[in-house]
Amino acid sequence: MNLAGTLPLHARTRASHPAIVAGERVITYRELDLQVGRTASHLNALGLRSGDLLGVCLGDHADHVIVLLAAARLGVPVLPMDWHWAQAERQRIVDVFRPKAVMIEADAAAIAGVPQHRRGAGWHDAVAAAVPQVDGADAADMPLVLALSSGTTALPKGPMISHANMLARFRGHWVSLGFNQHDRFALTTPLYYGGGRGFVLSYLFIGGTIVMFPPPFKPVDLVETVERRSINRLFLVPTQIRRLLAMARGNGLLFPRVDDLISSGAILSPEERKAVRNRLTPNFTDYYSSTEGGGITVQPAADQDRHPRSVGRPSFLTEVEIVDEEHRRQLAGIVGRIRYRGPGVAVGFYGDPEPGSTAGAFFRDGWFYPGDIGEMNEEGFLFLRGRAKDMIIRGGANIYPSDVELVLQAHPAVEEAAVVGWPSTEYGEEVAAFVIVHGTIGGPELIAHCRERLARHKVPRDVFLVDDLPRNSTGKVLKGALAERLQPL
């Protein structure tokens, strides 16, 4: 089914229901269907046809959502491009993936070698004059979005996610996360980011309401907006949650009426999860997900005290396994490579000569290998141990950075910690920790804290206090950038 295909139905059965709230602008489902139809018609008039790739380099506003839905109606897959990228970054993506055209903001610098359609007064006039295109393209495995993977290096890579893949992910949202058409969901992450974009499309597919509140914003403004706009569902990345926790100290629940706060993108410590339930909302869900596979596991609040370090059990219709280096399934409690499969999982990176040919480390026999290490218990709960590439080998012993990070983050003065390998002539690697703290605590005190709670070989050689950690556009810490700061021992 075309993922824009339910809009005409909503336009008839939920005509006056708010689809998108952007500041004082409220777009009903009747208006949204009309705008999507006119935008699809205009894109078609500009020469875009089913199967053509459209780069979308727009800000986080309602027009961006409308372009996504219009492209979906045409069967035109989109290539999301972060509008904050430097010009060289935009050019690199265009040079690699060769989209048919790119949608950009009116004042954006031109990109060489590709037609650009600028969002401005001329764009809006042309859309308003277009005759709405009602019928949408509909074919098996029709492509929807070429979503760039934040876990890849060298040449950019990304899976081409089909309408069928995304619909399967939507089912996971409805079954495992409980989304429904009566919800009011706040968009608090960039639309370039797969989590925010996927949740927005999921809610518009079922007829819910999206409240646009993209970053940057102050935590206090988010709290006020959630209350004033009667928002009952939120998705926040850990960095945003930590800022809210700092604000919420001793002030009671910040979101007493929120039915679910979902977080994904990085591991929250058990102490942080408990603080979320005590200071923000008791209705908190940890969501392990990826660009390539969508939702992988779900850990609702009810399971977090019983398995405080787990990221939950597999999402609806998703299978998860732990395997060794020979791809053999491992028993409960054995650490190994994580792999998963299901109808929401992409089958390969876009542009591969054959599905799965890109570094067969990622795709094999219908399974996707995200590069994460973990273990599962007998109940099916998954425990992450970190990225395979981030594992530290000190004197032949494997050290998982997450083990050290969780101990550091359990200290009340620590806001966030990132642990990396430190090249060493004697041991191969030592452990280095970069830590953001509150107050005046120093590195020696944090090392002593680790000595009491970790095996000797896991204790950091040194702790570096920093004001911030380098991150990508989705908030993930760039450990490679941290490792580059270290001189070999």
Work out the average pLDDT over 86-103.
Answer: 89
Residue 22 host element (H or E): strand 18-22
Span 391-483 CATH architecture: 2-Layer Sandwich (3.30)
Give 363 or 285, the one with higher predicted confidence: 285
pLDDT of amino acid 96:
87
152 pLDDT tier (thresholds 50, 70, 90): very low
Q: How would residue 225 be classed by pLDDT, with cut points 50, 70 and 90?
A: very high
Question: What confidence category does residue 361 fall into, taking pLDDT thresholds of 50, 70 and 90?
Answer: low
Using only C-alpha atoms, the chain has a radius of gyration, in whole angstroms, of 23
Q: What does each C-alpha distance from 288 to 46, 107, 144, 405 come to in angstroms? A: 39, 37, 22, 18
Return the pLDDT at 356: 46
DSSP assignment, residue 468? -
Q: Angle, to 10 degrees, between the axis of helix 29-45 and the axis of helix 62-74?
A: 60
* Token code pair at residue 396: 């032949």
Is it the case that residue 212 has pLDDT exceeding 50? yes
Task: Give 7-146's CATH code, choosing from 3.40.50.980, 3.40.50.920, 3.40.50.720, 3.10.20.90.
Answer: 3.40.50.980
Q: What is the C-alpha separation between 381 and 6, in angstroms, rounded?
A: 35
Percent with pLDDT over 70 in the chain: 95
Orientation angle between helical segments 401-409 and 443-451, nearest 10 degrees: 110
> Could you tell me which residues come within 8 angstroms of residue 135 by beta carbon, excluding any fewer than 6 positions away?
none
Q: How far apart are CA 193 and CA 475, in angstroms?
A: 10
Q: For the chain, how are helix, strand and coil distributed in percent, rounded to 5?
A: 30, 25, 45
What is the average per-residue pLDDT within 242-251? 77
Q: Which of 82-96, 264-278, 332-346, 415-429 has the highest mean pLDDT?
A: 332-346
State the pLDDT at residue 250: 66
Q: How confident is the model at residue 154 (pLDDT cuts 50, 70, 90)?
A: low
Where in the chain are the domains? 7-146, 391-483
Alpha helices in 305-412 (DSSP H): 401-409
Residue 161 pLDDT class (50, 70, 90 cuts): very high
The DSSP bridge partners found for residue 78 are: 54, 145
Q: Above 50 in pLDDT, residue 151?
A: no
Res. 473: pLDDT tops 70: no
Among 121-125, 360-364, 404-408, the range scoring the smallest mean pLDDT is 360-364
Dist. CA 263–CA 195, nearest whole Å: 10
Asked if residue 91 has pLDDT above 70, the reply is yes
Predicted pLDDT at 352? 63
**Cα angle for residues 297, 301, 305 (degrees, 5° grid):** 100
pLDDT at position 153 is 43
User: Cα torsion for 233, 236, 240, 243, to the nearest 10°?
Assistant: 40
Q: Tell me if domain 7-146 and domain 391-483 are identical in fold.
A: no
- Residues 28-42 have a mean pLDDT of 97
- At residue 233, the pLDDT reads 96
